[in-house]
Amino acid sequence: MTIGDIQDLETKLASCSDLLALKAIKDEYFGATGIITQQLRNLKTLNLDERRLAGPAVQQAKLTVEKLLVEAEHDIKIKSQSKQLAKEAAVLSTRVPKVGHIHPLSLTIEQMNNFFIKLGYSVYDGPEIETDEFNFQRLNVPKDHPARDMQDTIYIDAPNILLRTHASSIEARALAGLKPPFRVVCPGKVYRNEKPNKSNHFVFHHYQGVVVQEKVSLSELFGTLELLFKHMYGEKVVMRFRSKYYPEVEPGVGPDMRCFNCEGKGCTVCKHVGWIEMAGAGIIHQDILKMAGIDTNKYMGFAFGLGLDRWVMAKFNITDIRTLLGGDVVYPYFEHEKVL
């Protein structure tokens, strides 16, 4: 074989991309009628002297061709493995699971907790399975009180063991268990016998705040809520306080926020009134403090309760309460929404 023949072989191998084509090339040299096979066969027909003369060149050609074929096979295998890996990587990349993020409700609770902790509050918890006493009676809602009709209760063991209908039950626990003065906030799940739809669910979330100290005022309550609303929704928030009835407070107030969606003009979010009812609040009824064994000559208090789901829906533009209990991660997590 000449140098030219070897170069031809190298060119052929360079453009050979699979093992089948390589086999064909191999056969051209080492098959039954292959070039090297024939040259080796020819050697046998030569006499000893001729064989000594021609032999080394044929052996050298054989070794060179073998080496080139082995190298070519190695290259083809490496290329094919890389291709396969790239293909698998492409498949893998489409299967990367969605990375979750903190639930909007948990995020809101943490933001509110952090806000209140800075104002000197502690976070207080209570049981979800409650007694009638702590869910109703200690909050000025005796048996047969009409306010019970407003809350369709889920009973575990009627008439005394139930799933708490509001986080005010945690307030009742705090009043009974803590020594005044104190300030606590109580986030938690609450339950009512509601058929789930876009705006109601049988499990939702309340955020209750309770302050008991020697002196409290409505202006302190309003100031606290206004600070909270601005912290959560920004400086532009416009609020109003309306007189409302709640059995556990006297006087009672309902803080409303001007609709974030229409700025008070009226839209479907605010049911065309321009305002969104965000909470219930007031000065804690003296009877409630007395039931908890608190000296009403020395102490007074205020309380507020927020429907947390509504807050979260307003903040994240969520229009169906049921999505808050689903596993969908569609709601984007913005950098600026990190816990403050």
Q: Which residues bind Zn ion (CB under 5 A)?
A: 259, 261-262, 267, 269-270
Closest CA to 285 of 250, 253, 252, 245: 250
Run of H or E residues at 236:
none
Closest CA to 237 of 201, 219, 217, 264: 264
Q: How far is the CB of 178 from Zn ion (least distance, A)?
A: 39
Residue 225 vs 259, nearer CB to Zn ion: 259
Report the residue number whose CB is nearest to Zn ion.
259
Maximum pairwise Cα distance, the chain: 132
Residue 186 vs 259, nearer CB to Zn ion: 259
Residue 88 vs 263, nearer CB to Zn ion: 263
Residue 207 vs 260, nearer CB to Zn ion: 260
Note every long-range contact of 18-23, with CB atoms under 8 Å and residues 24 or more positions apart, other chains counting: 18/76, 18/80, 19/73, 19/76, 19/77, 22/69, 22/72, 22/73, 22/76
Q: How far is the CB of 262 from Zn ion (least distance, A)?
A: 3
Q: How far is the CB of 220 from Zn ion (least distance, A)?
A: 30
- DSSP-assigned beta bridge partners for residue 277: 256
Residue 21 vs 239, nearer CB to Zn ion: 239
Q: How far is the CB of 266 from Zn ion (least distance, A)?
A: 6
Helix axis angle for 3-14 and 48-94, nearest 10°, is 20
In whole angstroms, give the CA distance from residue 210 to residue 112.
Answer: 14
Strands 300-307 and 239-244: unpaired
Q: Which two tokens stand for residue 47?
A: 């006499």
In whole angstroms, give the CA distance from residue 268 to residue 289.
Answer: 40
Q: How far is the CB of 232 from Zn ion (least distance, A)?
A: 18
DSSP-based three-state secondary structure for 308 = helix
- DSSP-assigned beta bridge partners for residue 155: 162
Residue 174 vs 279, nearer CB to Zn ion: 279
Residue 4 vs 234, nearer CB to Zn ion: 234
Q: How far is the CB of 105 from Zn ion (least distance, A)?
A: 23
Q: How far is the CB of 265 from Zn ion (least distance, A)?
A: 7
Q: How far is the CB of 147 from Zn ion (least distance, A)?
A: 29
Residue 269 vs 318, nearer CB to Zn ion: 269
In whole angstroms, give the CA distance from residue 209 to residue 228.
Answer: 12
